[in-house]
Structure 1
Amino acid sequence: MKRILIIISLLLASCSSDDTNSSLVDNSLSSYIEGKAFEPGAVIACSGNDMVNSNNVEIYFFPESTSDNFKLFQTNSSNLDPNNYANYEALEIADTPFFNGFLRKFVGFFDTERWVIVSYELDNEIKLSNPIRIKQLTQPTLFSDAIMINQEQSLMPMFSWTINSEADNAIFFQVVSTTDDDLISGTYTFENQFQYYNTSNVVLNITDGIPPNLISGETYKFTVMDVSEDNWVNQLFMTQFTVE
């Protein structure tokens, strides 16, 4: 009996030691980048409410071609300094394809508002997004299909949309895709309009090569994200159109 008690005591001591060690693991972003080459603001990313499940938040990002080891870091409050990497802890959540893998996203439930940062590794360097302010409670993402389409110029439709709040808007991200979500073009503009494929007002182009000509009579999808300065999606527009 005495021998059994000794074994149990040793097992409990071992478990206690493991718990203590696990609590001391530093999962902070500052620890992750310590002593390594890293580049702030190098990952294009933003976040908004999930269209289907408003309780969830989606964090979208654009992975460069050979990047890997995608990670998401979060603060535990929105009141912390978003530029202090020690305030961010790694969040164990898997990323999933978006627009059939041309973009990727993290999807999760957040019960409070906070800041998040997306990272990945590329060419022996850690790339970081700018801080993203999660505002799913105080400023839920609005969803609309109110896109105006002018097709006076054949095969080059002009898209325009109404800004819900100019004070909240910093930039627009537009995607032209197939109805099966294969991305054809991805562009950013400061103006609330975009013409396929006229890049005169495009300030950032993530399209892979030269996009194909649209086909008359074919149906496509157009998506726009109205993004704030702190990288929250204020409004998401999505509609289908048939090329004339």
Structure 2
Amino acid sequence: MMSKFAGFLALYLLFGCSTDKLNDISVSESSLANKEVVLDNVIACAASNENDDLVSVFLYPRPGATNIRYYETTDTRLDKNDFDNYTLVDFPLVDVFNGYLKKFEVPANKEKWAIVSFDEAGLTHVSNPIRLKQETKPTEYLPQNVSINASSNMPIFSWTDGTYDDTVIYFQVVSDQLGNLISGTYTIEKNFQFYKLDNVVLNITKSTPENLNRNQPYKFTMLAVSEDNWVNLFTEVDFTIE
């Protein structure tokens, strides 16, 4: 990072997910040949699933994004910054929050590096390398680590880390009972108040959301993400405005 916090934040504001750069790229025919590539310009991260032997590779497809693809190396010993080490793999693309986000569900057979890409405005945009760590650091699912003060229609969410201490950014989603994303924000701090942006470092909410309604069920989802884009902690908690 460029001074740790400053560099990491700068890359997130450029729609990256870590500070690693893909420098001196040698592009092969099997990956991203003959395309003008925009580096560090796709938000993506990955988590091991709680109830099956799959890894979910999440991404935010900006409006207009097409041709979303997933690439992976054979293992983690290969140079993550060399596109020649990545192979295009055709996994189904699954909607998250009714399509606001997407994910690939990847067999958790081996730890490796992964990259996702999409086309936008005639260019191919790629994520930073994602380190799949389902064996060495399986994602923790700890809803009890989240506290919610829902005494007003601007609830306050706070949380604590789990076992792992290398989280560098937190992604929060407030969604409705139908699973529609209401707000999607990133903070460095372990708290967020709906819908105040004072401590938000990246906001993927497309428009200012309406106030939350009393006696209506909502869900709060939080992902704690490490610098190499692995989700250390994944929590989901239902709540209702009091």
TM-score range (shorter-chain normalised) is: 0.7 to 0.9
Partners of 2:89 and 2:69 in 1: how far apart?
A: 8
Q: In 1, distance between residues paired with 2:67 and 2:85?
A: 21
1:166 deviates by: 6.5
Letter of the 1:49 counterpart:
S
Give, as a single letter, the amino acid of the residue that structure 1 aligns with 2:50. M
Looking at structure 2, the residues matched to 114 and 30 of structure 1 have their Cα atoms a distance apart, in angstroms, of 19
Q: Are 1:42 and 2:49 counterparts?
A: no
Task: In structure 2, list runs of 5 or more residues that go unmatched.
Answer: 1-25
Matched length: 215
Shift of 1:30: 3.6
* 3-state SS of 1:220 partner: strand
Q: Please name the residue that 2:222 is paired with.
A: 224
- Using the aligned pairs only, state the percent identity: 41
TM normalised by structure 2 equals 0.85
How far off its partner does 1:187 sit?
0.3
Cα distance in 2, alignment partners of residues 178 and 51 from structure 1: 22
CA displacement 1:191-234 (0-9 Å, x = unmatched): 01000001100000000111111001111000000000000000
Quick check: 1:241 aligned with 2:236?
no
Letter in 1 for 2:240: T
Amino acid at match of 1:45: A
* Aligned amino acid, residue 78 of structure 1: T
TM-score relative to the length of structure 1: 0.85
Pairing 1:210–2:208 present: yes
Distance (whole Å) between structure 1 residues aligned to residue 33 and residue 240 of structure 2: 51
**Coordinate RMSD, CA, aligned:** 1.4
Distance in 2, Cα, partners of 1:114 & 1:178: 34
Structure with higher Rg: it is 1
| CA–CA separation in structure 1 for the residues paired with 2:165 and 2:216 | 37
> Secondary structure at the residue paired with 2:41?
strand
Of Structure 1 and Structure 2, which has the larger fraction of its residues in helix? 1
State the AA in 2 paired with 1:127: H
Are the aligned partners of 1:29 and 1:73 in contact in 2 as well (CA < 8 Å)?
Answer: no
Partner of 2:156: 158
Structure 1 equivalent of residue 16 of structure 2 = none
Shift of 1:160: 0.4
| Matching residue's letter, 1:143 | Y
- Indicate the residue corresponding to 1:6 in structure 2: none
The residue aligned with 1:52 is: 51
> Which residue in 2 is equivalent to 1:186?
184
The CA distance in 2 between the partners of 1:180 and 1:29, in whole Å, is 42
Could you say which residue in structure 1 is the equivalent of 2:68?
A: 70
Structure 1's consecutive aligned runs of 4 or more residues displaced over 4 angstroms after TM superposition are none
* Contact 1:176/1:221 (8 A) holds in 2: yes
Contact 2:50 2:141 in 1 (8 A): yes
Q: Distance in 1 between matches of 2:49 and 2:65?
A: 25
- Give unpaired runs (5+ residues) of structure 1: 1-27
* Whole-angstrom CA distance in 2 between matches of 1:239 and 1:30: 44
Deviations 1:109-159 (A, max 9, x none): 13110000000101110010000000001110000112111234x211100
Q: Aligned partners of 2:28 and 2:162: how far apart in 1?
A: 37
One-letter identity of the residue aligned with 1:51 = E
In 1, the alpha carbon distance for the partners of 2:170 and 2:27 equals: 29
SS of equivalent to 2:237? strand
Structure 1 range deviating more: 156-165 or 120-129: 156-165
Which of the residues 54, 58, 61 maps onto 2:59? 61
Aligned to 2:84: 86
Mark the CA change 1:191 to 1:165 in structure 2 (over 3 Å): closer, same or farther.
farther
